[in-house]
Amino acid sequence: MSRMTPFSSPLLLGFDAMEKTLERLAKSGDSYPPYNIERLGAADGKAERLRITLAVAGFAESDLDVTTEENQLIVRGRQTDDTEREFLHRGIAARQFQRCFVLADGMRVIGAELKNGLLSVDLDRPEAERLVRKINISVKD
């Protein structure tokens, strides 16, 4: 029995990678660290902007890594255990994380800022040019 997918229509060509990305995202169930995504109003005719804010309390700038790989924004955090400290109770664990966000074509990362335990990553998408191209039809006898 074949499975019906959102991209199984014969009119949708070349969406195989998108379908695989959606399947991968559905399987990832980790909710750490918590995050917000907000839409920032376009100002002065500039493109619409988005801001992703992750709660990364306890992480220093040197513990965080923000990269883009192909069409993904990847935020990684790595903390190391401080062996010089003696804990009577350890309720805050030093842990690692990796959070991936799939970016649409044309999305750009403007910058990232760490303030008060929140990492904010700003993105924008410049208005795409509307391109109409005439395709010549060749006739073969």
pLDDT at 51: 96
Summarised one tens digit per residue, pLDDT across range 13-55 is: 777 776 776 676 666 667 789 999 999 876 666 678 999 999 9
pLDDT at 122: 96
Q: Identify the band that residue 86 occupies on the pLDDT scale cut at 50, 70 and 90.
A: confident
Nearest to 35 by CA among 104, 108, 120, 96: 120
Q: For the chain, give the mean pLDDT.
A: 84
Q: Is the dihedral of CA 32, 118, 53, 16 positive or negative?
A: negative
25: helix, strand or coil: helix
Mean pLDDT of 69-98: 86
pLDDT at 114: 97
Separation CA 13–CA 120 (nearest Å): 35
Q: Identify the band that residue 71 occupies on the pLDDT scale cut at 50, 70 and 90.
A: confident
Ordered alpha helix ranges (H), the chain:
16-27
Torsion of CA 26, 31, 34, 38, to 10 degrees: 10
Separation CA 76–CA 101 (nearest Å): 12
pTM, two decimal places: 0.72
